[in-house]
Amino acid sequence: MFTRNESFSAFLYKFPLTSFFIITQILVWAFFALPLKDAPYWFSALDGYNAAIAHGEWWRLATPVFLHANFSHLFFNTISIILFAPALEEMLGKAKFILLYIGSAILANAATFMIQPLEYSHVGASGAIFGLFGCYLFMALFRKNQITRANAQVLLIILALSFLTSFFSPSTNVTAHFFGLVSGFGFSSVLIKKEAFAPYSFYSGGTRRQSLNWNKKNLLWTAVLLLALLGIISRFF
């Protein structure tokens, strides 16, 4: 579930929304990395600055999801989206997936606005990513027919590590992480129905050639998953 075995072009075709979110945040980061005179001004007009939100700049509840503080921030959030978003886009459908991803981000940013001081400012897709975690957590607890036990165990370990290490970095928006998780969990109680179906059937089947290629691709994505975990653990140091 948390490994990929399709080609890049197949990934773009099968998961257009996930691809859109990834490509958009990469392009936005690349734009602001350019040596443009007004780039800092434009960046500050889109980040989650609480004082500006209090003065009516409500777009800041959504735009921070596409902004990142540095390349490391962008890289590990992108890896997380690649690993955890595709299965949910396929399972939920496009409309529900957008609601889960963007809705969790907005509610996480709204909670940050209400809880953190006015001078607080933040960027990143972490609120949306923890919304995905909240969806998986809901399935692990209440829709067990839709997630295998092994995948649920992997998810819970990653979730625990991600959430606990949030407290070890002063720049981490713990509020967004927590309320993103809660929002994703809450959305899922409405979005995910109880009907039984074969989980992840969209990964089954395929030709013999696809089967032969699976091991190599699976090894690649396993390495990516380990790299993401390394990034999480590195916050301790």
Active site residues: 126, 177
Closest-CA residue to 61 (of 124, 110, 121, 10): 110
Q: 174: buried, middle or exposed (CB in 10 Å: 19+, 13-18, 0-12)?
A: middle
List, in order, residues 6 or more apart from 163 with CB less than 8 Å away: 130, 177, 178, 181
The torsion angle over the Cα atoms of residues 91, 95, 101 and 102, rounded to 10 degrees, is: 180
Percentages (nearest 5) of helix, strand, coil residues in the chain: 75, 0, 25
Exposed (0-12), middle (13-18) or buried (19+): which is 153, by Cβ within 10 Å?
exposed
